[in-house]
Structure 1
């Protein structure tokens, strides 16, 4: 089926392990993995980072790494030289590449770690290639585009013993740890239901693919941008932001905000892999009587319900509701009429047998309900806070890379981020199931996915009662990738 497997020959055009041995030998600062074993600290005590995707969020990521004072941005890689210009100006000593495969082929011995901030569809292939070379990795959320890719990276983190972190920076906020402490202390009893919601998307979704191709910008290497995705002609307004709403490249509102909002329930309740999923989606009308059918595009809104089996921290199953496109759950009775629900557009609500608690995006602004309880209830601090909170997410990874695998705690290692990402992508399976049609009567069609609770076989990574949707668990990569 797809080409990403835990073998270097399947990840890029060359055998990375072989080529890393044959790479150029000139060093400007010798990386610690060359000089010593696990946990070795180089004489410079500075992490040498190669950054793949350095515009937009990638630009702010590498600026945060550099701000720690313990990392050098040694190499920059981006398919769009125009978008990369600001980072090139900020790090003039960094050597520039367009193709990450060439970067890893030629510069493997000169780097300790790789930061990846590309569109979702190219996360996994770049990340696995770096891990196979023994490089620590920081990857923007969501970790991967497909469930299969997330499982591969989760297992690879253990196999290659590299330091990993996903870029859901709210995982390092104090709010998540406060929620954990309230729950562990029994303040709200046993949580059985969670709601997570967002006002995203803030880009077009539920629309047809543009019918008119456009000229590729002179600074953009379109073929490299497409990477693993099927070839299509370039269209206006896809790059650099609106790709999020197209299934070939993005993962919709779930991929954009899910890692920020669902991380807290995962940590608080010890969730891992879901057992079943069902969804409803917003409908698009192209005229007064005709519904639009645009299977290439994510829907404008959705409500997904995931069931998670009992964990060590719950008495029974947990039902998690995801809502996007501006849909929100019913306001809790304990929330004052004039109090903002979450942060106004996003939030996470925990419902327990003895009470409720709530947080906004990134697990921030954690509160008990009614909010007066927040100041009244005092519990012992059990979890170490991360200096700098969300901004400290970057420094935490840098410090852990310097310390070496297994020697420092991380807020979002792949061992946790992989299952979280899988849950979000499983929710997308239910959403995409609405676009699968079967022939109906009188030349019409039926959409059986609209009315199903999809049952998940976690070991084999497949839905057991709706075979057609399994095509999205593991996609085909474009020839050559």
Structure 2
């Protein structure tokens, strides 16, 4: 087999030369060549990791899988009998990194950055579930390393591939509702999805099938308790990013794409209150963005936990309790994907996607980068969302210097911007 570096160069060059992309999907032109078949790995195979690993296997050969839950791992090994199993991604990459072309990362939020960074620093292409990272510095660093290593990347916010989202984004940019003045985006999460605003559960004994220390990973030491694994970790600051991390990388993606909503200058949050261990039950967060070449200065208001914008902002319409997106312009409004109240339906041209995961495979093969690649899209979008969490944590308005990743008006937030990892894990090198 070709060594890792030469193999990836071969895959890149054959992808360009073969011109195998056609409307409707991907066709691996060099499928019959064993050197051209992508060697895939997955870190985290529960939840979204189940579908991510299946997607990966449909585009190559699954050679390694990792999950801290031995029951899940055992089940996955039956699906991928040719793969080797691990409970620690570091051991997997140390032992097999040279024979892995691409990896999916579908872990709890706090492990996205360390796993992705280790893989990319080895030259491995990376698909990571949303949000890209748990903290702002991690998002900036992951984007930087992806660019330096020249690897193909994609964040798992599948809506960026939809025609509906791309059309709506281009409507905003084309002025279909006039000059955009403000944006309002809401979700019913976390209410009813996982608990927030609660005290830490009582200490328990880890089940024998769970590698608790590997599950904790980079997070500060704490005893095992029911309510962290396998899903309810989202509501804890050490592990998750709350409703913003879970859903904002989906629902904010449309205006982010259309209006270049990066590098906010401030964020302020009203919340139900929290103990700095569990996220609040609800939040209303206001972001301010300075004017840029695509738009004037604009405000974005985020509502979660069942909070919703005033009905009059929607032209008297009742906001959906499940969530929605509203852009208000001086000529009309864009409500979800509908132009209303004087908005002008204009023809827009936008690139159609072959499929979200397929965009990543295309990039691995030497084609154009995926829409939600780490450096240009996923990293900046994640930074925006995580600034909202910084405002929630602080309880004050945060004046933000995006270029330097610094809060201009409040001291003591540095550890929430750039985390300290436990011994055995690497952030910077």
Secondary structure in 2 aligned to 1:467?
A: coil
Distance 1:218 1:177, change over 3 A: same
Indicate conservation of the 8 Å contact 1:180/1:268, yes or no.
Answer: yes
Secondary structure in 2 aligned to 1:294?
A: coil
1:423-462 equivalence runs, <5 A: 423-434=384-395, 449=396, 453-462=397-406
Q: CA deviation at 1:346?
A: 1.4
Residue aligning to 1:408: 368
1:386 counterpart (342, 353, 363):
353
Distance 1:33 1:332, change over 3 A: farther
Instruction: Tell me, in whole angstroms, the C-alpha distance in 1 between the residues paired with 2:57 and 2:369.
Output: 20
1:100 counterpart (79, 84, 89):
89
Residue aligning to 1:62: 53
Residue aligning to 1:268: 258
Instruction: Tell me, in whole angstroms, the C-alpha distance in 1 between the residues paired with 2:312 and 2:78.
Output: 49
Indicate conservation of the 8 Å contact 1:71/1:398, yes or no.
Answer: no
Secondary structure in 1 aligned to 2:12?
A: coil
Secondary structure in 2 aligned to 1:386?
A: coil
Residue aligning to 1:259: 249
Q: Which has the larger radius of gyration?
A: 1
Residue aligning to 1:15: none
Give TM-score, length-normalised by structure 2.
Answer: 0.89
Instruction: Tell me, in whole angstroms, the C-alpha distance in 2 between the residues paired with 1:459 and 1:394.
Output: 31
Aligned length: 404
Distance 1:378 1:196, change over 3 A: closer
Distance 1:82 1:335, change over 3 A: farther
Alignment RMSD, CA only? 2.0
Secondary structure in 2 aligned to 1:468?
A: coil
Residue aligning to 1:422: 383
Instruction: Tell me, in whole angstroms, the C-alpha distance in 1 between the residues paired with 2:8 and 2:155.
Output: 27
Residue aligning to 1:308: 289
Q: CA deviation at 1:46?
A: 2.6
Residue aligning to 1:345: 322
Distance 1:477 1:35, change over 3 A: closer
Indicate conservation of the 8 Å contact 1:55/1:86, yes or no.
Answer: no
Residue aligning to 2:309: 329
Instruction: Tell me, in whole angstroms, the C-alpha distance in 2 between the residues paired with 1:274 and 1:333.
Output: 23
Q: CA deviation at 1:84?
A: 3.1
Runs of 5+ unmatched residues, structure 1: 1-26, 284-292, 360-365, 435-448
Give TM-score, length-normalised by structure 1.
Answer: 0.80
Instruction: Tell me, in whole angstroms, the C-alpha distance in 2 between the residues paired with 1:367 and 1:33.
Output: 49
Indicate conservation of the 8 Å contact 1:301/1:326, yes or no.
Answer: yes
Residue aligning to 1:297: 278
Once the two structures are superposed, what CA deviation does each residue of 1:53-110 show, in whole Å capped at 9, x if it has no partner?
011110111212334xx32222111111123344222212111111111111111221
Instruction: Tell me, in whole angstroms, the C-alpha distance in 2 between the residues paired with 1:257 and 1:36.
Output: 36
Instruction: Tell me, in whole angstroms, the C-alpha distance in 2 between the residues paired with 1:297 and 1:35.
Output: 42
Secondary structure in 2 aligned to 1:307?
A: strand
Secondary structure in 1 aligned to 2:270?
A: strand
Q: CA deviation at 1:35?
A: 6.3
Indicate conservation of the 8 Å contact 1:31/1:47, yes or no.
Answer: no
Q: CA deviation at 1:154?
A: 1.3
Indicate conservation of the 8 Å contact 1:279/1:427, yes or no.
Answer: yes
Once the two structures are superposed, what CA deviation does each residue of 1:299-324 show, in whole Å capped at 9, x if it has no partner?
0000011111112210x211111110
Indicate whether 1:358 and 2:335 are aligned: yes
Once the two structures are superposed, what CA deviation does each residue of 1:188-230 show, in whole Å capped at 9, x if it has no partner?
11112111111001211111112x3111111110001101001
Indicate conservation of the 8 Å contact 2:40/2:57, yes or no.
Answer: no
Distance 1:132 1:336, change over 3 A: same
